Structure 1
Amino acid sequence: MQLNKSDFPKINWKTSRPDSALTDEEWQEYFKKISECVSPADEDKLTFNYTGRIFGSEYCGDSQYTYYKRFINSVLASIRKGEEDYCFYIYQIIELLRFEHDRLQCEWLPEDGVFKCSLLLR
């Protein structure tokens, strides 16, 4: 199933952030629709090692992707321990859905502008 962005009028897809008027009740409906469009991954965490190259020499330092991968894997580790963690962008929620498709819960906290993530207990 394709994600039809017009089904989500209160999301700014350029910034991957909800409109300030979005309620958690509306977000839960959006979350369900988004979940239906995400396929579970075969892995249990985000992997891919990128080594940037600049002018034929190896880039010294972490790439933006490395920071992103650490963030996603850190959130996964926290919620798998039964803790709550927070995300800021919808693309991060989509990434988490790949690894915890059937157990991920995300609550939109409009007053804080964050998503509170946790897992359903088995």
Structure 2
Amino acid sequence: MMGRVLASRRTFPVVDYGMRRDGSFESVESANDYVNRTLEQNAAEVDDVASGKKSRAFLTSRFGYRTGREAYTAGQIEPYLRTTYGVGMYIVHDPGSSRVYRIHTAYPRNDGD
């Protein structure tokens, strides 16, 4: 995780960019559970994407316990490992899917960053 965040960083005279975070769930089973619960908690947004009303959506959920770990950096500081308590996921409209949307990415994260 730390290596991918560091490797993605680029610095130019005016702008810095690259990955701010790279996280991992504890297991495939826990990832599936958190993703399903995040979809349920954001049902209205999911319905908007599935119906085509929106082409995409970024969904978040906060849980009261550990969801995984992530390497995180804020700007110029070196990345550090931290425990996460939430989930972020990006879904897109996909008429070819039986659900009419697909999950592009999902990862453990903390809110407010």
State the TM-score, normalized to the length of structure 2.
0.28
State the TM-score, normalized to the length of structure 1.
0.27
Instruction: Say which structure is richer in strand.
Output: 2
Instruction: Say which structure is richer in helix.
Output: 1
